[in-house]
Amino acid sequence: MNITVENKKWLEDFNLSHPLVIAGPCSAETEEQVLKIAHELKNSDVSIFRAGIWKPRTRPGGFEGVGAIGLKWLQKAKAETGLLMATEVANATHVKLALEHDIDVLWIGARTTVNPFAVQEIADALAGTDKIVLVKNPVNPDLALWIGGVERLFNAGITKLGVIHRGFSTYEKSKYRNIPEWQIAIELQSRFPDLPLICDPSHITGQRDMIQEVSQQALDLNYDGLIIESHYDPDHAWSDAAQQVTPTVLKQIFEDLKVKKITTEDDAFNAKMIKLRAKIDIADATLLETLGKRMKISEQIGALKKEKNIAVLQNKRWNEILGKMILDGEEKGLSEEFILRLFKAIHQESISHQEKVINK
Ligand code: PEP
Ligand code: MN
């Protein structure tokens, strides 16, 4: 299946000299709140105003959104500020109401993308519209499911498509609310280069003081846009209070962000890059060589264990290796998180090499 979004055409039609920015509160709370934030965001880099009307909450009892009445507030905000309006839709009724209120951008939330029935229902309800539709990644790190969501919309004839990377949930706590797993979004970007890719640093980080850093990372990776939650009184927001920033802070974030160009004509720069890339290629080749050698040693260990009927997995030894590597890694400026991931992967590969020998 080929998703062909004509050269990011809908995005180019915005004619921006910077990445696309969608901003606004996590949830629409009152008419005054919607209008006040929209006015504070107009005349900035923001092109599209976001506000959730129907809020999927993990546990019942929280604020579940103001419902359809909020669509009227968005219409009013659009009339007063000229900003385009965006909201989340999770079923055919939401789509019908959003279309009736002429909402410009509809996004499918992370908890909906996981459900092909729901996405198909939304795609069917959207068939024939020329609205911009953005698909958030599913909560679980499943690229096929994310692509599948986009395909369902594409098959329904929706051409103004894009994706939002909002990170993935994990059982173990990390410094992120939803870990980015950048490689998944990058894989999507390289498979579908014409599909605009937007980063949602608010839901990735879950905390406002990390928004700048993650937004910059996204821009460094050539993302096409950002969707950032903004509220004039973040601490008293009815949902996602910890991650929202005031419109003033948001404007400062835009000032501080550095937009990178993909290429340059500067010959000296290009010559230096070629040299550095050659060095990286050599370092990568050495890494692979070393890993290959390490696996051969694992196979010899496997053969020895087989002779003596010893178990493959030796937890004590493994924990010792890991502890040492974390310390050594730290000295080389490598984070504990990276060392853990790297060595878990190496260990896994090592075990399968040993098992191959043992079960021969
Ligand atoms: C949101 O954008 O407010 C939201 C609910 O996001 P997600 O679907 O990424 O959790
Ligand atoms: Mn939110």
The pLDDT confidence band at residue 2, using thresholds 50, 70 and 90, is low
Q: State the average pLDDT over residues 189-212.
A: 96
**pLDDT tens-digit map of 86-109:** 999 999 999 999 999 999 999 999
CB 201 within 8 A of CB 239: no
- Ligand 1: residues whose CB is within 6 Å? 26, 52, 56, 109-111, 136, 166, 203
Protein residue closest via CA to atom 3 of ligand 1? 26
Residue 255: Cβ within 10 Å count: 8
Protein residue closest via CA to atom 1 of ligand 1? 26
Q: State the average pLDDT over residues 3-31.
A: 91
DSSP 101: T
The predicted pLDDT at position 84 comes to: 98
Q: State the average pLDDT over residues 259-282.
A: 86
Q: DSSP assignment of 306-341, as one string?
A: HHHT--S--HHHHHHHHHHHHHHHHHTT--HHHHHH
Q: What percent of the chain has pLDDT over 70?
A: 98
Per-chain mean pLDDT for the chain: 94
pTM above 0.95, yes or no: no
CA of 244 to the centre of ligand 2 (A): 8
**pLDDT tens-digit map of 134-167:** 999 999 999 999 999 999 999 999 999 999 999 9
Q: Which atom of ligand 1 is nearest to the CA of 227?
A: 2
Name the closest ligand to CA 244. Answer: 2
Residue 276: Cβ within 10 Å count: 10
The pLDDT confidence band at residue 1, using thresholds 50, 70 and 90, is low
Pairing verdict, β 225-229 and 20-24: parallel
pLDDT at 216 over 90: yes
pLDDT at 7 over 70: no
The pLDDT confidence band at residue 58, using thresholds 50, 70 and 90, is confident
CA of 139 to the centre of ligand 1 (A): 10
The predicted pLDDT at position 186 comes to: 94
CA of 111 to the centre of ligand 1 (A): 8
Q: State the average pLDDT over residues 214-226.
A: 96
CA–CA distance, 96 with 109 (Å, rounded to integer) = 17
The predicted pLDDT at position 125 comes to: 98
CB 112 within 8 A of CB 119: yes
If one residue of 22, 26, 164, 231 were mutated to test the ligand 1 pocket, choosing by the most ligand atoms within 8 A of its CB, it would be 26
Q: State the average pLDDT over residues 179-194.
A: 94
